[in-house]
Amino acid sequence: MSRQLWAEPFEKILRTYLPLLPVDTEVTPDMNLADHGLDSMATVRLLLDLEESFAVMIPDHLLSVSTFATPAGLWAAIDSLRDDNAIQ
């Protein structure tokens, strides 16, 4: 991987909710999370883990299929909330 696109804990947490993703397969920004095993129940648990790990609260308007479709979309939401918290 040429450069880190997200914080290392993000990928570690994400991988725990992708049972169909082989250990040796790279997490790419545009991979479809549902294709790798992220279902509705896992999405809820992933949401809670990410909120706790990154000390953010994902607002209702970001709780959408598109936010949880790819690692890039999900990280963009988390990262934008982290930036907001850093300013306050």
Residue 78 lies in a domain: yes
Six-digit token pair at 33? 């999370």
Average pLDDT over residues 60-85: 91
Q: Which residue intervals of 1-88 are DSSP H helices?
A: 8-16, 40-54, 71-87
**Rounded to two decimals, what is the model's pTM?**
0.86
Q: Which of 11, 17, 19, 12 is nearest to 72 (CA)?
A: 11
Domain of residue 38 covers: 28-83
Specify the CATH number for the domain of residue 49: 1.10.1200.10
Residue 46 lies in a domain: yes
Residue 39 lies in a domain: yes
CA 43, distance to chain mean position in Å, is: 9
Residue 61 lies in a domain: yes
Domain count, the chain: 1
pLDDT, one tens digit per residue, over 30-63 is 999 999 999 999 999 999 999 999 999 999 999 9
**Integer CA distances (angstroms), 1 to 5, 6, 26, 29, 84, in order:** 9, 12, 8, 11, 28
Tell me, what's the pLDDT at 23?
Answer: 94
Average pLDDT over residues 6-13: 94
pLDDT for 24 beyond 70 = yes
